């Protein structure tokens, strides 16, 4: 994307680590890249399985504050459930980027956005824990958008997840980057 990414929406269902993914990205940007961000989150009434979203708003410049804390028109939508896709696709900016879990989301025909299918849930299960699909999506997001450095995301994971889960989340991050690389090389934008 040529324009600077200012708003990113993560969406899925409770239990997928949607809020954690947003938190890790926000921490990577704020603590390790020194760029001000704002994070908001929204849950359905259910603890797990209900709708869940979280957004990051990124300041224009490192020395600026975020002028409005909520995502209104995301540049990027990272989507991990069909219900979330149906709810949030209408908010994605024209020409925006949709990164979706191809195991759980079937997008409609829409030529106004760039689409990147990432089989996050399947790959997370293959590496040993489906709960790291969120970090696979973070790795893909980093590679596709370059919103922050991979090193900042790695440091954020080391600081933001329980010690016993750091290694598998770092592996998931790399898997996501590799999957995005494959999609980019193939020119896949479904």
Query: At 79, which helix (H) or strand (E)?
Result: strand 76-79
Question: Is residue 105 pLDDT above 60, yes or no?
Answer: yes
Strand arrangement, sheet containing 51-58: 37-43, 51-58, 7-13, 76-79, 97-101, 114-118
Domain ranges of the chain: 7-186
Residue 46 confidence (pLDDT): 54
Question: Is residue 80 pLDDT above 90, yes or no?
Answer: yes
Residue 2 confidence (pLDDT): 40
* Weakest-pLDDT range from 39-43, 78-82, 105-109: 39-43
List pLDDT tens digits, range 63-77: 777 777 788 899 999
What pTM did the predictor assign? Answer: 0.92
Q: Is the dihedral of CA 165, 168, 174, 177 positive or negative?
A: negative
Question: Is residue 24 pLDDT above 90, yes or no?
Answer: yes
Please report which residue ranges of the chain form alpha helices under DSSP H. 18-27, 82-88, 120-126, 133-145, 150-160, 166-186
Bridge partner residues of 135 (DSSP) = none
Count CB-CB contacts under 10 A for residue 57: 22
List pLDDT tens digits, range 39-60: 988 876 555 566 789 999 998 7
Residue 112's pLDDT band, with cuts at 50, 70 and 90, is confident
Q: Which tokens is 172 given?
A: 């998931």
Block residue for tokens 């790959």: 123
Residues near 48 by beta carbon (within 8 Å), at least 6 away in sequence: 13, 14, 15
d(CA 125, CA 48): 19
3-state SS record for 98-126 = EEEECCCCCCCCCCCCEEEEECHHHHHHH
Fold topology of 7-186: Pyruvate-ferredoxin Oxidoreductase; domain 3 (3.40.920)
- Do the bridges between strand 51-58 and strand 114-118 make them parallel or antiparallel, or are there none, so unpaired? unpaired
Mean pLDDT, the chain, whole residue set: 90
d(CA 182, CA 155): 24
């Amino acid at each position: 994307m040529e324009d600077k990414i200012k708003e990113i929406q993560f969406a899925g269902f409770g239990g997928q680590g949607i809020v954690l993914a947003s938190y890790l990205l926000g921490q990577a940007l704020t603590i390790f890249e020194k760029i001000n961000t704002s994070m908001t989150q929204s849950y359905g009434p259910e603890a797990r399985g209900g709708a869940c979203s979280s957004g990051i708003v990124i300041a224009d410049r490192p020395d600026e504050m975020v002028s409005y804390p909520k995502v209104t028109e995301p540049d990027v939508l990272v989507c991990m459930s069909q219900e979330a896709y149906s709810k949030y696709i209408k908010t994605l900016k024209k020409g925006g980027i949709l990164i979706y879990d191809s195991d759980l989301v079937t997008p409609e025909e829409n030529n106004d956005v760039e689409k990147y299918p990432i089989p996050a849930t399947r790959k997370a299960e293959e590496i040993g824990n489906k709960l790291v699909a969120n970090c696979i999506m973070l790795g893909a997001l980093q590679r596709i958008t370059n919103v922050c450095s991979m090193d900042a995301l790695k440091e954020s994971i080391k600081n933001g997840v329980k010690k016993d889960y750091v290694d598998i989340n770092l592996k998931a991050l790399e898997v996501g980057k590799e999957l995005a690389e494959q999609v980019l090389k193939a020119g896949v934008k479904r």
